[in-house]
Amino acid sequence: MPLPSLPIWLWAALCLAAMMGGLWLHLVLHPLRQQFSDALDILRLHPRLVAMGFVAFLSALLWGGTDPRLPGNHALEAWVDWSVLLGPLVLDSAGHFALMLHQVEPMWPLALLLPVGLILQAWRIQSLPFRYGEGRTGAGMRNFALWGLAALSCLWVALEALNLRELLPEWVHSVRSLLRSLGVALAAAGVQVWIIRLVVEWQMPQRTETVRDQATALDAVFARWRAVLVLGGFNALWMALFDWAQDSNLRVAPALVLEPLLFFAPLPIAVACEEGLGLPEVGAQALRLIVRAFWALLGLAITCLALIMLLRYMVGTLGALVVGQGFAVKLTIQIVAAFSLATVHNWLFLAVALTLVQRFPRQSDEPSPSAPAPQPS
């Protein structure tokens, strides 16, 4: 079909209007609209989430290379032919949603700041071991391991810097790629748990200052550093499977990856909501949660899929409109796209996290088997 000749600003306004209309249509009668409304309230109280997401998405758009949450560079005609566009758009949006549950924002290249977080973590645990649940027995060895991990992350950043000068041999490139995957996965796990702790702090408020909530949530991440490391290992596995599905010629590859991504979606919630649990206990809590919240998560997934489809269509169309334009026009559209992606991503993830946190089976809520039964009066 012939495309109308419209100015870029009018195309952008129409795309944004379609996005806002789609949001209203999907949410006005949604059975979980209260969770979506509360997620907006959390986002309003913590604008740093949008700021962090904006920086992450803009960095990914400018320097991050290919990310599955960013629409491909298609011609404008490809975004108009819905007979060809609809199937890939649904599949890409489903993968987008499943990946969002384990990695809210693209962490590359922001993951290069990981050494700062690990050094701060090791220093705080060494200075205040009892505050983070570290007793005297074995604390020195664990802290030594944490300092070693921080040193390894510094080595990775050094390799990334040398790679810019193309000074690395081939085998070092393989080491650098492995360290990048692990670093991005660990950074994603830490950010994920921090955001979920903000949801917990909002649900059970103990103070009125949101800055203190953010600091308390960061302390909670530090206190769960061993579980965050395990969660980072799972994230590395998910990301590797996702990359394999993207490059595989098997038609069932996306479905094989989407199932575990969705099935293990409560795992970050279990890590964030309970402290001092081992991996089997965290896994058991996550399984109980997926049983409790299955239908709610399914309803959220359907709505989030529709919203992400609209989001991807808007961002992809805007990107296609500025092909061949000047740098200033492209940068302006990328800023609009990064802000839209950051806002919608954080909003949808907060709605999912709030729904799961409200249904989380806390161990403190379960009756102790050794507790005596109450005597009738």
Q: Which of 75, 84, 78 is nearest to 322 (CA)?
A: 75
Q: Which of 244, 317, 234 is nearest to 95 (CA)?
A: 244
- Cβ burial of 29 (10 Å; 0-12, 13-18, 19+) is exposed
pLDDT tens string 323-374: 777 778 888 888 888 898 899 889 999 998 888 888 887 655 554 444 444 4
- Compute how many other C-beta atoms are within 10 angstroms of the C-beta atom of residue 157: 18
Q: How many CA atoms lie within 13 A of 59 on its CB side?
A: 14
SS3 369: coil
Q: How far is CA 261 from CA 35, 192, 266, in A?
A: 22, 15, 10
Output phi, psi for 16, to 5 deg: -65, -40
Rg (the chain; Cα; Å): 22
Answer with the residue of higher pLDDT: 76 or 368.
Answer: 76
Alpha helices in the chain (DSSP H): 8-27, 33-45, 47-63, 82-100, 114-127, 139-164, 170-203, 210-223, 225-247, 253-263, 267-273, 279-292, 294-321, 327-358
Q: What percent of the chain has pLDDT over 70?
A: 78
Answer with the residue of higher pLDDT: 128 or 244.
Answer: 244
Q: How far apart are CA 331 and CA 101, in angstroms?
A: 28
pLDDT tens string 42-59: 888 888 889 998 998 888
Note whether 76 and 3 are within 8 A (CB): yes
pLDDT of res. 171: 77
pLDDT of res. 371: 45
Q: What percent of the chain has pLDDT over 90?
A: 1
The distance in angstroms from the start CA to the end CA of the chain is 81
pLDDT at 8 over 50: yes
pLDDT of res. 206: 63
> What is the identity of the amino acid at 264?
F
Q: How many CA atoms lie within 13 A of 101 on its CB side?
A: 28
Q: Which of 346, 273, 299, 337 is nearest to 39 (CA)?
A: 346
pLDDT of res. 83: 73
pLDDT of res. 263: 74
Q: What is the mean pLDDT of the chain?
A: 77
pLDDT at 177 over 50: yes
pLDDT tens string 158-172: 888 887 777 777 778
- Compute how many other C-beta atoms are within 10 angstroms of the C-beta atom of residue 74: 15
Tell me which H or E stretch contains 252.
Answer: none
pLDDT tens string 97-121: 888 888 888 888 888 888 888 888 7
pLDDT of res. 266: 84
- Which token pair is 333? 């559209």
SS3 367: coil
Q: Is 15 left (phi over 0), alpha (psi -120 to 50) or beta?
A: alpha
pLDDT of res. 181: 86
Note whether 345 and 191 are within 8 A (CB): no
pTM across the whole model: 0.80
Query: Dihedral (C-alpha) 153, 122, 134, 362: value to the nearest 10 degrees?
Result: -60
pLDDT at 134 over 70: no
Q: How far is CA 172 from CA 67, 231, 237, 348, in A?
A: 23, 26, 21, 39
pLDDT at 136 over 80: no
Answer with the residue of higher pLDDT: 19 or 284.
Answer: 284
pLDDT tens string 189-230: 888 988 988 888 887 766 555 666 777 887 788 778 788 888
pLDDT tens string 298-328: 888 888 888 888 888 888 888 787 777 777 8
Q: How far apart are CA 329 and CA 322, in angstroms?
A: 7
Give the range with max mean pLDDT: 56-60, 141-145, 242-246, 279-283: 56-60
Unique residue bearing structure tokens 């390799």:
159
- Which token pair is 165? 């000068």
- Compute how many other C-beta atoms are within 10 angstroms of the C-beta atom of residue 155: 14
Query: Dihedral (C-alpha) 293, 296, 302, 308: value to the nearest 10 degrees?
Result: -80
